[in-house]
């Protein structure tokens, strides 16, 4: 069934909890994830000053593509909302954007040489490559938001130098999988850094598996697993 606004907010609140539980967003209240219904201009995002584990559907804010808060709970928008709005403007196919600062992926951005070693399932999902945004500045203007969107291009994953990551997908489930897998891929790549001889997965094989792993059925399966894990182990404010 297609998402409604209420079901989408519920899934977004769960996604915030999952990002916290999986260790990708535990640096106080920094970072943000947004989502929109396909074809809509409004997106939904947590307020500034709220930790990922504190998010509930009721606290989410709604924002238009001009970067204005137009509804939702109390509080104000994060200052880096141009990052989201400009990606949505440039990419009608994108319905979810996540910008966070995971430990290993941020380290990888500081030593990035333009190639991710494709050696396992954590990495082969990025067989088409990972883009790079070469500035460490915060994304607080339309101009820098557009620059991030241009750097991302038609892809789904972007490293931001000494800053963090941006992932963008057709659905919340797909984008959440990309975020979790990119941090795992970064750890894998950094672990292999001392080794000169590494056996990598052939590009045609990795590309085929990347397409398989990005199918909606696989992404939904992972999302539902993480939701069950939240029910068992979650420590945040919302578990569905």
pLDDT at 27 over 90: no
**Cα maximum dimension of the chain:** 54
Predicted local distance difference test score (pLDDT) of residue 84: 98
State the chain's mean pLDDT as an integer.
96
* 45 in any annotated domain: yes
Give DSSP secondary structure letters for 44-100: EEPPTT--GGG--GGG-EEE-TTS-EEEESSS---TTHHHHHHHHHH-TT--EEEEE
* 189 in any annotated domain: yes
* 147 in any annotated domain: yes
pLDDT at 1 over 80: no
Domain boundaries, position 80: 5-233
pLDDT at 61 over 90: yes
Alpha carbons 95 and 88: distance in angstroms, whole number: 7
pTM (predicted TM-score): 0.97
The percent of residues in the chain predicted with pLDDT above 90, rounded, is: 94
Predicted local distance difference test score (pLDDT) of residue 2: 79
pLDDT in tens, 140-154: 999 999 999 999 999
Average pLDDT over residues 58-80: 96
* 238 in any annotated domain: no
* 240 in any annotated domain: no
* 239 in any annotated domain: no
Average pLDDT over residues 228-240: 94
Average pLDDT over residues 198-213: 94
Number of domains comprising the chain? 1
Predicted local distance difference test score (pLDDT) of residue 201: 95
pLDDT in tens, 95-110: 999 999 999 999 999 9
Give the domain CATH number at 154: 3.40.225.10
* 199 in any annotated domain: yes
Average pLDDT over residues 17-45: 95
Alpha carbons 232 and 157: distance in angstroms, whole number: 30
């Amino acid at each position: 069934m297609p998402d409604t606004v209420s079901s989408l907010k519920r899934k977004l609140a769960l996604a915030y909890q999952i990002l916290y539980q999986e260790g990708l967003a535990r640096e106080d209240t920094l970072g943000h994830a947004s989502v929109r219904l396909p074809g809509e201009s409004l997106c939904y995002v947590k307020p500034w000053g709220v930790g990922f584990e504190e998010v509930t559907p009721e606290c989410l804010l709604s924002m238009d593509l001009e970067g204005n808060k137009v509804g939702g709970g109390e509080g104000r928008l994060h200052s880096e909302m141009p990052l989201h709005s400009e990606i949505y403007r440039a990419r009608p196919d994108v319905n979810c954007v996540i910008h966070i600062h995971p430990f290993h992926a941020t380290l990888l951005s500081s030593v990035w040489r333009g190639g991710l070693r494709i050696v396992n399932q954590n990495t082969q999902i990025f067989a088409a490559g990972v883009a790079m945004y070469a500035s460490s500045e915060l994304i607080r203007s339309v101009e820098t938001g557009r620059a991030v969107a241009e750097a991302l291009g038609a892809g789904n994953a972007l490293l931001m130098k000494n800053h963090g990551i941006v992932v963008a997908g057709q659905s919340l489930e797909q984008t959440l999988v990309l975020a979790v897998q990119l941090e795992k891929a970064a750890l894998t790549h950094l672990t292999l850094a001392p080794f000169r001889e590494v056996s990598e997965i052939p590009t045609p094989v990795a590309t085929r598996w990347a397409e398989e792993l990005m199918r909606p059925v696989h992404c939904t399966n992972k999302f539902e697993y993480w939701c069950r894990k939240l029910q068992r182990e979650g420590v945040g404010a919302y578990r569905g």
